Structure 1
Amino acid sequence: MKKDALLDAAESLLSEQGTQALTLNAVADRAGVSKGGLLYHFPTKEALVKAMVSRVIDEFDALIASFDDGTPGSATRAYVEATFEILAGEARAYRRWSAITAAATDPELAEPLNGAMARWHKQPCGEDPVGQMVVRLAAEGLWEVVSHAPELYDAEQFAALRRRLLALLDSPPG
């Protein structure tokens, strides 16, 4: 059993049933492995949550890097593109919510995510730093809304929201 399959099982439990459902026994059952098989990879619940948080951060960092061309303001454009890439992916959309929810129970577990969030939101902002902050915060708000109501927006609405946020980045400051 690969670690990713165990993390997928933990995320789906959190997404479907909430934090009270995240037990090592439940994750092992969901993944179809023995508890010993789970403990081989994740000896504690905290280790499992840390791995969930790390995967969310690594995945988002990689997506941002894939969209960032290094031009002024491209970090925010990349942040928006990465956000929509993940939110459009059915299987990955709940990862961030699950990791945040699991980590929220312990400040130490949440620290890597808090640090990544600060890094993502303090990227160089080009000519219009306030406009870029507004766009990143709007994308962040979309994450929050979709985590609670995943069916709220259809593909066409997501595309329209993406286009509008990117267009705001091309607007002159003012």
Structure 2
Amino acid sequence: MASARDRVLDSFVAIVCEEGERPATLDAVAARAGVSKGGLLYHFGSKAALVEGLCERLSDLAALDVDRMRDAEDGAARYFVRNSQYVGSELDLALLAASRLQQAGYDEAGRTLDETEDAWLVTLVDALGDVPTAQAVKLLGDGLYHQASLGAASQTSPKPSTIDMEALLTVVDRVIATKPGR
């Protein structure tokens, strides 16, 4: 079973993703987590502390994802694109919640999102050897994620993708093969 701290943070993320930032009050988060308000305050002394906790979680999840990108058997570019579809994972939910918090004016959420995006791009640049090719791959993955996450944000469950991932990965291979210096 998840710790009370994790349940509180999971509840905060869920409310922000499902309803937005304003309904994610300390009372609502405590109720959804099944803890007293005092129990919530023990772990997170304010809503700002909840935002900070979410940002820490997102940073940790993004670092794990970057490690997986670097270690991917078929390469960082293919890994990034293949994993750029919204599937409701813990990383996806943290990204969605941080995006909504950024839109609500939480600067820390915006900084964490920027750091996450930068880490993915740097990893692609390191793997591919040039910035324009890495940017093209990143934008392709970002477009997939954007399309899928918009659908997920407007529905109770993500609809199945109509993207032919293998065909798209073939395009990624062509982009990489035609980069400068090859």
Find the counterpart in structure 2 of residue 102 from structure 1: 101
Alignment CA distance shift 1:16-1:70 (3 Å):
closer
Structure 2 gaps, min length 5: none
What is the count of residue pairs matched by the alignment?
171
Cα 1:63–1:136, aligned 2, differ >3 Å: closer, same or farther?
Answer: same
Q: 1:29-75: CA deviations, max 9, x gaps?
A: 1111111111111111111111112212211220220231399x944
Q: Percent same amino acid at aligned positions?
A: 26
Aligned to 1:113: 113
TM-score in terms of structure 1 length: 0.78
> What code does the residue aligned with 1:65 have?
D
1:118-159 superposed Cα distances (whole Å, 9 cap, x missing partner): 232234253553232111012123222322212665156373
Q: CA deviation at 1:11?
A: 1.3
- Unaligned 5+ segments in structure 1 are none
**Alpha-carbon spacing, 1:152–1:31, altered in 2? closer, same or farther (3 Å):** closer
TM-score w.r.t. structure 2 length? 0.75
Q: Taking structure 1 as reference, are residues 90 and 127 closer, same or farther at Cα in structure 2, changes over 3 Å only?
A: closer
The answer to whether the Cα contact below 8 Å between 2:87 and 2:158 also exists between their aligned partners in 1 is: no
Q: Give the whole-Å Cα distance in 2 for the aligned partners of 1:15 and 1:54.
A: 17
1:172 to 145, 166, 178: 178
Question: What is the root-mean-square deviation of aligned Cα atoms in Å?
Answer: 3.1
> Who is 1:44 aligned against?
46
Distance 1:76 1:83 in 2: 11
CA distance in 2, matches of 1:49, 1:158: 36
Q: 5, 14, 29: which one pairs with 2:31?
A: 29
Q: Paired residue for 2:81? A: 80
CA gap of 1:161–1:36, structure 2 versus 1, over 3 A, is farther
